[in-house]
Amino acid sequence: MALVSTFEVLLKPQLPKVLPPAFNNAKKLSRNILQGYFLTIANVNPFDLVLSLVFTTRLPSGVTLDEIITFADTSGINSGGALVPDGAGNKYRFSPLFLPAEATALFILQPSPTDAALAALDIEARGFVDIQLSSLGGTPPAGAKIQVTAEQRGTFFDNTTAPKIVDRALDQIVYGLTVQNGGLLTLN
């Protein structure tokens, strides 16, 4: 198992609903944000890998896994998956992620912008991500290596009642997250 990075997913107002009186003018600047976690994984080996991603987080009261969506793309087609509880109360697993030899996958974790979630604007979860070889893939040769890049990407918007959230998008943000060893990880 290798620690990849931290993560944060949001579907919330940018500022708290209640501000001290001295900051009331800041509300005029406030926007909402939909932010997801993006993980690019390259299999640099001449053999296929089957991986598991384990997210450690404490979901806030009232937030369920149904409100968090995942996608994995290894062939140009996004395929949905599910996070499932992984024994301990604060661990959730995405598995299996099939990664052919010398191929690259993109994994996305973000709040689901359903009508109910947009009306509530109350999803916020953060934690850290581990990656490991899945037992579903047999035993690859010792020292399998992957190259990973982790990012947070977000869209700021001002109106949750628009038919399409992208019609109300004001700005976007993307920033890389620190990954150990320059992102070159060895899995055993």
pLDDT at res. 113: 85
Residues 89-94, mean pLDDT to the nearest whole number: 89
Count of Cβ atoms closer than 10 Å to residue 98 Cβ: 18
What are the tens digits of pLDDT across the range 5-31?
A: 999 999 998 888 788 888 777 777 778
- State residue 166's pLDDT score: 55
What DSSP letter does each residue of 146-162 carry, written as one string?
Answer: EEEEEEEEEEEES-TTS
Output the pLDDT for position 48: 92
> For the residues 94-116, what does the mean pLDDT come to?
92
List the structure tokens of 15: 């500022």
Mean pLDDT value across the chain: 86
Q: Over 80: is that where the pLDDT of 107 sits?
A: yes
**Is it the case that residue 159 has pLDDT exceeding 70?**
no
How would DSSP label each residue in 13-81? ESS-SS--GGGGGGGGG--EEEEEEEEEEEE-SSS-EEEEEEEEE-PPTT--GGGEEEEEESSSS-EEE
Task: Convert the pLDDT of each residue in 52-67 to its tens digit.
Answer: 999 999 887 777 777 8
Cα–Cα distance measured from residue 152 to residue 103, given in angstroms and rounded to the nearest whole number: 22
